[in-house]
């Protein structure tokens, strides 16, 4: 079950047909082919940036199957499979593995927050990991989206499970990344979810990141991990300085609508989010354009 998650992963967006509103698998494949021109380690399907909570099980399966067919052999496909019930999470995880996912990312159930004690969450994750055909990554969702925070002690306990391979931590706090690295089992892999912290997280002991800014600055985000692994620390730090404002001003400040607007400006398939999310306004689109221009990301795309 051992699998290395070292490197930069992209939490890919989900394009929708502008007429029918259905998942646009053709556009999805085209985006994947573009992103894999850079040395990314893999992709996350149906994560937060992929509008996971707005997708049904069949759509998730179709996206995973498309990715499994399109991603190069050396690339990894991670699928978001978190649901509010343990039973539902297990079923989504089995479906993801059958569709070609190499690992699953499981966010904590949050609706019944008061009942989600560390003991309840531990039972949930262990039950999923016991039967998942592929390694499980724990997902610490940004706290503005999920009100459940996974304590370091809980993650330390989960890290002892042979099929729980690591965690994606999207809290955006470097000190907490350090806590996880320090307290978890040695083979437990910590991935950062903030593109503004990728280089610093690698310095702290993380193995990589799943970063949405890489959707807009793919070559730069991928090269941070490559340069770090090769000992070119100055290059990695310089690239981090380039993409940090894009993360802060687009990904963190505008969310999915801003990221999708940026993809459109870069010539990729962004489009509108699925309702009830709204498309970025014209003013926001121009703001995104200025941010991408300042980071010198539009010129390489020929825009």
Q: Which two tokens stand for residue 102?
A: 């190499």
Report d(CA 208, CA 227) in Å as an integer: 12
User: 105 - beta bridge partners?
Assistant: 80, 137
Helix (H/G/I), strand (E/B), else coil: 19: coil
CA atoms within 13 A on the CB side of 118: 9
DSSP 248: I
The whole-angstrom separation of Cα 142 and Cα 107 is: 10
Catalytic residue among 160, 168, 260, 284: 168
Per the annotation, the verdict on 260 as an active-site residue is no
CA separation for the pair 84, 75 (Å, rounded):
29
Distance in angstroms (rounded) separating the CA atoms of residues 165 and 132: 12
* Helix-helix angle 57-70:86-99, to 10 degrees: 30
Q: Sort strands 164-169 and 136-140 into parallel, antiparallel or unpaired.
A: parallel
For residue 88, whether the previous peptide bond is cis, meaning omega lies within 30 degrees of 0, is no
Residues 183 and 185: their CA atoms lie apart, in Å, by: 7
> Is 56 buried (19+), middle (13-18) or exposed (0-12) by CB count in 10 A?
exposed
Q: How far apart are CA 174 and CA 176, in angstroms?
A: 5
- Rounded to an integer, what distance in angstroms lies between the CA atom of residue 6 and that of residue 247? 21
Residue 48 neighbours by CB distance under 10 Å: 24
Active site residue ranges:
168
């Amino acid at each position: 079950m051992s699998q290395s998650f070292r490197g930069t992963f992209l939490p890919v967006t989900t394009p929708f047909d502008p007429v029918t509103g259905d998942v646009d698998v053709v556009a999805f494949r085209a985006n994947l082919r573009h992103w894999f021109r850079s040395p990314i380690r893999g992709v996350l399907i149906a994560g937060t940036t992929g509008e996971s909570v707005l997708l049904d099980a069949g759509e998730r399966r179709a996206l995973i199957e498309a990715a499994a067919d399109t991603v190069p052999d050396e690339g990894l496909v991670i699928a978001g499979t978190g649901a509010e019930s343990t039973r539902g999470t297990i079923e989504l995880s089995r479906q993801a593995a059958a569709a070609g996912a190499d690992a699953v990312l499981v966010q904590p159930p949050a609706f019944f927050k008061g009942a989600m004690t560390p003991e309840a969450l531990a039972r949930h994750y262990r039950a999923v990991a016991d039967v998942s055909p592929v390694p499980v990554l724990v997902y610490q969702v940004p706290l503005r989206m999920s009100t459940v925070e996974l304590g370091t002690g809980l993650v330390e306990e989960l890290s002892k499970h042979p099929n729980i391979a690591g965690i994606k931590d999207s809290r955006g706090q470097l000190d907490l990344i350090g806590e996880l690295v320090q307290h978890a089992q040695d083979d437990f892999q910590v991935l950062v979810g903030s593109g503004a912290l990728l280089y610093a997280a690698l310095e702290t002991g993380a193995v990589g990141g799943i970063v949405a800014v890489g959707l807009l600055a793919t070559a730069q985000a991928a090269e941070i991990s490559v340069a770090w692994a090769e000992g070119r620390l100055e290059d990695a730090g310089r690239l981090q300085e380039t993409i940090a404002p894009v993360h802060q001003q687009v990904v963190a400040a505008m969310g999915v609508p801003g990221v999708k607007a940026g993809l459109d400006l870069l010539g990729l398939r962004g489009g509108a989010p699925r309702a009830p999310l709204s498309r970025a306004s014209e003013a926001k689109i121009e703001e995104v354009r200025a941010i991408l221009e300042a980071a010198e990301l539009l010129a390489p795309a020929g825009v």
